[in-house]
Amino acid sequence: MQENRTKYLSLCALLSIVTLHAEERVVTPKFTIRSQGFNSVRRLPGETGRNIFLYDVDRCECGDFYGKFSLTPEYTRSFRPHEIARCLFGDALGNDDVLKIEGSRVAGRDPNALLADYFYLPTDFESSVCITPRIQNFLVDMNYYVGADWLWRGLYMMVQAPLTWTKWALNARENIINEGMNGYDAGYFTPGALSRGALLDNFKEYAAGDAPGVISQVMPNGEFNVELRPLQFAKWRKTETRTTVSELRYYLGWNFLLCEDYHLGVNLQASAPTGNRPEAEYLFEAQNGNGKHGEFGFGVNGHYTFCRSEDEEVAWTFEANIDVSHLFKARQRRTFDLKDKPLSRYMLAEKMGSEILFGLEGNDVTPSAQFKNVFTPVANITTFDLDVSVGAQVDFLAWIYRDCGNSRWDFGYNLWTRSCEKFERRCDSCNGFESNTWALKGDAQMYGFGTGFNGVLQAAVPLSATENAATIHSGTNFVSTSQVNATSINAAKANPNIDNPQLATQDFIPAALRVNPTGAAATNPQINTSIQPIFIQETDIDFVRIKGLTQKLFTQWSIYNPCDWVEEGEWYPYFAIGAEVEWAQHHNNCNNECDDNDDCSSDDCDNNTIDGTCVRCALSQWGIWAKFGLAYH
């Protein structure tokens, strides 16, 4: 009766933990921004009627032209770091943007803390990690425009090339509260006990890609080499910088209405990707450009002067522009979490094999697989090369400007939005995921101990224990840490809440498998194994896609041919200074029913679209710029 009550209370505690984290927001596999080059605010204000879209150009001899060349240095810097951190870490962050790291044996541990056991840290380890991400850009936007009215009235061409330096800093600072003294008991990671000295010193070591490596231990029934692998993808590092031309953008346009007080035109535009490609090695990897997407699209632009003074020195004008482009397929690498398990990429997976090398049974049933002495972060098995495309991105710009003599003042509004990504499996990596091989370890004991041929209770037997219900916050055995003592630890070590628990026995010398390698049966309970284990399947992976939406206010002041330095018909200089503030909108709700994944085999990759949750994340930033140009009329 007491045993049933204990099982009931353990189940209730387990269900309470699962319920607590069931509604956690989805986190993005990477943080994506609009390309530094896709920004009409730098390209158009201050130009119409002064340097571009001129109405009074004679169709003269072939080779005559009007045009302009400008250099626009701009510095931008992100704000609202909380929003970036929430996109990356979701509800695991506290209100002060802090991740807590706590081991499974920390008394009264925070249920929202990340489990230190996954990071090769002691069970009594405690730390807090403060995260304040920041993105900075400095670019020089080179823009060349030429009017080709000698070919066709209103015809023009434009080329844009932003040379960009970008710096992405995760700014993760770990404060160690208790470095921990505990090692790991026999059977948790390795068949023998694992000392504190074999473990990592802090969480940032794990996040940077450190690991204990291969641990060799000799037991009475042989030598065991247990591999504790490092994190290979979604790692953390202090900063990353990239310097390159973000992309080359080309425009071919025609103003079919062209008068002094109004114009209306259309253009075709394309982009050649010259920036960097997402490789998923780091969580907060610098993005310079548009992610190696080729682009093709169109634009519409028009202005109307609605007020002009009698002496024509002052005029008020409204102008609007819209650019729409499709982002073609680009190979990108992404690291994903498991469904309904945010940040599970940082949990530990155990390798299983169907060859049963040691006699193991549960209630006289042989398991379908047995632990094969390898642990690896989940990120290492949920990273994929994909073809990524975007249906459309839109840049809408509307502004009013006041002309007065040789100067102009612009102020207006800009909207940028990008539709949800589309993933397609690459045929050269269809078989990258190993089915029926990996399972979640959680806080399960991985070895039981039986009687060896010498009659001594020390023979280590790998189990088939898995914890499919484990989360980044906890396993399923240590469901309550309000009290941590020898009794509660021993009870948890018996694997009471693993998947499909059955009492484990050895079949080569029939006997119960025990929790500890030594000790009388009264204080050394029989351990459970999973009959049968539950594997991580590809359908368990949440292929989270990203979309974006930002809104911007800007202003710019321009001066043309100051002090009438040059005469008509010659090249003349102009200058402008401006500022912008851009706000991102975020949401983390799945907006479609899209959890079914299509299989992809090496023989048939025609139907290879991958659906998944779609989240909105974008960058809030401010920027200031100066424009230096030469125009020829």
According to the 3-state scheme, what is the secondary structure of 477-519? CCCCCCCCCHHHHHHHHCCCCCCCEEEEEECCCCEECECCCCC
pLDDT of residue 13: 43
CB 467 within 8 Å of CB 498: yes
What's the mean pLDDT in 82-87?
Answer: 94
pLDDT of residue 425: 84
> How many helices and strands, by DSSP H and E, does the chain display?
5, 33
In sequence order, the β-bridge partners of residue 396 are: 322, 415
Strands 98-102, 114-115: parallel, antiparallel or unpaired by DSSP? parallel
Give the lowest-confidence range in 60-74, 80-94, 345-359, 488-502. 60-74
Q: Is 206 helix (H, G, I), strand (E, B) or coil?
A: helix
What's the mean pLDDT in 525-553?
Answer: 95
Half-sphere exposure for 419 (CA within 13 Å, toward CB): 14
Separation between Cα atoms, residue 78 and residue 56, nearest integer Å: 42
pLDDT band with cut points at 50, 70 and 90 for residue 221: confident
Separation between Cα atoms, residue 278 and residue 332, nearest integer Å: 5
Return all residues near 535 (Cβ < 8 A) that are at least 6 apart. Answer: 352, 369, 435, 436, 437, 438, 439, 466
What's the mean pLDDT in 85-89?
Answer: 95
pLDDT digits (tens, 9 = 90+) for 13-46: 444 444 444 457 789 999 999 999 999 999 999 9
pLDDT digits (tens, 9 = 90+) for 553-586: 999 999 998 766 666 557 889 999 999 999 998 7
Return all residues near 481 (Cβ < 8 A) that are at least 6 apart. Answer: 104, 105, 106, 107, 108, 109
pLDDT of residue 598: 39
What tokens does 466 get? Answer: 């898995």
Separation between Cα atoms, residue 217 and residue 225, nearest integer Å: 7
Q: Is the pLDDT of residue 605 over 80?
A: no
- Is 595 or 319 the better-scoring residue by pLDDT? 319
pLDDT of residue 363: 76
pLDDT of residue 512: 87
CB 558 within 8 Å of CB 51: no
| Kind and range of the H or E run holding 15 | helix 2-22
- Is 407 or 310 the better-scoring residue by pLDDT? 407
| Kind and range of the H or E run holding 8 | helix 2-22
pLDDT digits (tens, 9 = 90+) for 290-337: 999 999 999 999 999 999 988 888 999 999 999 999 999 999 999 999
| DSSP code for 230 | P
- Nearest to residue 231, comparing CAs of 279, 189, 169, 282? 282
- Mean per-residue pLDDT of the chain: 88
pTM of this prediction? 0.89
Return all residues near 575 (Cβ < 8 A) that are at least 6 apart. Answer: 558, 559, 562, 626, 627, 628, 629
What's the mean pLDDT in 185-203?
Answer: 95
pLDDT band with cut points at 50, 70 and 90 for residue 600: very low
What is each CA distance from 177 to 127, 128, 181, 383, 386, in whole angstroms? Answer: 5, 7, 12, 32, 41
Q: Is the pLDDT of residue 451 over 90?
A: no
What tokens does 342 get? Answer: 């945010």
| Kind and range of the H or E run holding 73 | strand 66-78
Write out the E strands in 80-133.
Answer: 98-102, 114-115, 126-131
What's the mean pLDDT in 375-388?
Answer: 96
Q: Is the pLDDT of residue 153 over 80?
A: yes
pLDDT of residue 101: 97
Matching residue, tokens 């991985």? 446
Strands 126-131, 247-258: parallel, antiparallel or unpaired by DSSP? unpaired
How is the chain split into domains, by residue range?
2-183+244-370+382-632
- Find the radius of gyration of the CA atoms of the chain: 31
pLDDT of residue 482: 56
In sequence order, the β-bridge partners of residue 114 are: 101
pLDDT band with cut points at 50, 70 and 90 for residue 394: very high
Q: Is the pLDDT of residue 261 over 90?
A: yes
